[in-house]
Amino acid sequence: MTLEQIRKTATHIREKTNGFEPEVGIILGSGLGSLADRIDVAYTLNYSEITGFPVSTVEGHAGQFIFGRLGGRRVVAMQGRFHYYEGYAPTEVVLPVRVMGLLGIRFLFVSNAAGGVNPSFAVGDLMVITDHINLIPNPLVGRNIDELGPRFPDMSDAYDVALVELAGRLDAGLRYGVYVGGTGPTFETTAEYRYFQTIGGDAVGMSTTPEVIAARHMGIPVFGMSVITNVGLSGVKSTHEEVQAEGAKAAARMTRLFVEMIEKL
């Protein structure tokens, strides 16, 4: 993907939203879309109507951007994202983040549903992502777009420490940990869960790390949150339905936290 292609998509979105300039970007994970109900909506853009966006795979409708006001700020929320496991190229997975960066976001909030690897985690826990281990092909492989960021970006502060601290002041019951980004679409074997525990993971999912890498490449501070929808080493099988249902239950608490954080940025 070239800078011209990304700029063209950003220009197209600016035209469709009358030059709306979001300050905060929010990516809503599986079952976590209800935050969108809190947005005072100005514009909604289906991904299928955006020039340059990948065409959705068999699942049908990939999602939408919601532009509006939340917590006193101009935001753009992604209800639905592009996953590597759906067959999108790594550069396509991060195109929405690239575009939100060009539209001017100064913070990125990302969320996902994840499996608990840390044995002390329970279903319904909210885990602040303090770091990640990326096992998905890196979206920066290929010619570097120097206008967006450096060839060899630092990742030692992938998740903004001040935002992690802010979250802790607003909700005393949060968990903290390392998110492992795997390709999916399979859930992990028992041995893989043990392996992720051994290498320092606390939660595992199938998204987020590519988007965070792209945001950090562009110098955008990131706050990340995993909703623990199932626990890996419990002996209970993980299903997509369970992930959706548990995500929906925890979404209200995550929404409250995100809104309070955005108010205090």
Q: Scanning residues 103 to 122, which ones bind ligand HPA (CB under 6 A)?
A: 113-115
Strands 24-28, 73-79: pairing kind: parallel
Among 110, 206, 251, 261, binds ligand HPA (CB under 6 A): 206
Q: Which of 1, 10, 30, 112 is catalytic?
A: 30
Query: CA 247, CA 34: separation in Å to the nearest integer?
Result: 10
User: What's the one-letter identity of residue 109?
Assistant: F
Q: Mark whether 61 is an active-site residue.
A: yes
Q: How far is the CB of 116 from ligand HPA (least distance, A)?
A: 8
Task: Tell me if the bond preceding 221 is cis, omega within 30° of 0.
Answer: no
CB of 124 to ligand HPA, least distance (A): 13
- Which CB, 50 or 250, lies closer to ligand HPA? 250
By CB under 6 A, residue 188 contacts ligand HPA: yes
Minimum distance between the CB of residue 117 and ligand HPA, rounded to whole angstroms?
A: 8
232 near ligand HPA (CB under 6 A): yes
In 3D space, the residue among 36, 56, 54 whose CA is nearest the CA of residue 44 turns out to be 36
Q: Could you tell me which of 89, 33, 94, 40 has the C-alpha nearest to residue 61?
A: 33
Residue 125 contacts ligand HPA per CB under 6 A: no
Question: What values do phi and psi take at 94, rounded to 5?
Answer: -100, 0
Count of chain residues binding ligand HPA (CB under 6 A): 14
> Within 10 A of 171 (CB to CB), how many other CB atoms are there?
15
Helix-, strand-, coil-residue percentages of the chain, each rounded to 5: 35, 25, 40
* Cβ contact 64:76 at 8 Å: no
- State which residue, 50 or 188, has the beta carbon closest to ligand HPA: 188
Q: Which residues are catalytic?
A: 30, 61, 83, 85-86, 113, 206-207, 230, 240
User: Can you give the binding site for ligand HPA, defined by CB under 6 A?
Assistant: 113-115, 184, 187-188, 204-206, 229-230, 232, 238, 243
